[in-house]
Amino acid sequence: MSREVFSLSPDKSVESAAWRLSLDGMSGAPVRNTEGNVIGVLTASDLIDPFSRGETVGEVMTPTVWAVPPEAPVIDAVRLMVEKQIHRAVVLNGSGKIVGIVTTMDVLRALADGQIAAEDIQSTTEEGTNVAR
């Protein structure tokens, strides 16, 4: 999990958000309101969706936030990302505040560093989709 999480505000322009994500090499970021609550996620897919119309992050973001609690094992985040076909899971505490984010790169780093074993992430095929178990 990455504890330092870059986030966007819903009133930020789509153009400036795209530039920031691109410059920082990120493919997406959580969107927080003025109270600091996560209200959505802006992804590269949102930015290139031809049906997505809007000038602000709040108008084009995905309003669904897939999250795990901080005490969850990494495999829970992996399962969620595979099941929902997403590249990041937000880590929210009991108050709904963001405390981190787990990305596919975080999982790959943990595998490469030996923090988790490949055996912990076994794939099976269910209706043509790989899922972790």
Give the mean pLDDT of the chain: 85
**Per-residue DSSP letter, 6:** -
Q: How many CB atoms lie within 10 A of CB 123?
A: 11
* CATH code for the domain in which residue 118 is found: 3.10.580.10
Query: What is the Cα–Cα distance from 70 to 37, expressed in whole angstroms?
Result: 16
C-alpha torsion sign, points 72, 75, 78, 83: negative
In a domain, 43, yes or no: yes
What's the pLDDT at 125? 28
Model confidence pLDDT, tens digit, residues 9-62: 999 999 999 999 999 999 999 999 999 999 999 999 898 877 777 899 999 999
Split into its structural domains, the chain has a count of 1
* pTM attached to this predicted model: 0.79
In a domain, 114, yes or no: yes
In a domain, 7, yes or no: no
What's the pLDDT at 118? 66
